[in-house]
Amino acid sequence: MEEIDPRTLQVKSAGIWLKQWFVLTSGTFEDFNAMTVGWGSIGGIWGRPFVQVVVRPGRHTFQYLEKYPTFTLCAFSANYKNTLMMMGTKSGRDCDKLAESGLTIVASKVVDAPFYREAELVLECRKTYWQDMNPGNFLSGYIEGNYPDKDYHRIYFGEIMRAAGEAAYRG
């Protein structure tokens, strides 16, 4: 893994979210939870590089995002697809997902939330903003169908404080 300047980070925009996914980890090295996320974005705001993730309030990880100021986003190679599927279908409320995943946690350099040795891209992020989705502002009819339980996502922005990964992610 090489250090990457977050301002020149290169990702496959929609593809890395919708096809490759990330593991979102919030908390501290001693007390964290993680889940797979496939909806979000990476870009810039307020002059700084940032990520946007959307998390439903029922996720166990939601409690950690509310309690702790930092999170990490980790991307993995296709070899870890089954692991990410497990982390996106089981809840840390019911099982020890880290043990089941076989992944190895590593202390982050600049945030409290840890990352994984097996990741090919690590983004260490500090929360800068949150907002709940307002269904009154949905402008396309298909969107509401994602919320049969009306559990609209909470949107979190995180400033990318540090990025590290394989050379392909360097600008």
Binding site for ligand FMN (CB under 6 A): 21, 33, 35-39, 54-56, 59-61, 85, 88-93
Query: Which residue sits closest to ligand FMN, CB atoms considered?
Result: 88
What's the closest the beta carbon of residue 170 comes to ligand FMN, in angstroms? 26
What's the closest the beta carbon of residue 114 comes to ligand FMN, in angstroms? 15
Nearer to ligand FMN, 14 or 167 (CB): 14
Q: CA-to-CA distance for 78 and 125, rounded, in angstroms? A: 24
Residue identified by tokens 């990964």 is: 165
Nearer to ligand FMN, 65 or 170 (CB): 65
Q: Where are the alpha helices (DSSP H) in 20-87?
A: 60-67, 81-87
What's the closest the beta carbon of residue 116 comes to ligand FMN, in angstroms? 15
Kindly tell me the burial class for residue 142, based on how many C-beta atoms sit within 10 Å of its own C-beta (0-12, 13-18, 19 or more). exposed
Nearer to ligand FMN, 41 or 128 (CB): 41
Nearer to ligand FMN, 95 or 110 (CB): 95
What's the closest the beta carbon of residue 154 comes to ligand FMN, in angstroms? 9
Decide the pairing of beta strands 115-116 and 105-106: antiparallel
Q: Where are the alpha helices (DSSP H) in the chain?
A: 13-15, 60-67, 81-87, 97-101
Q: CA-to-CA distance for 87 and 23, rounded, in angstroms? A: 8
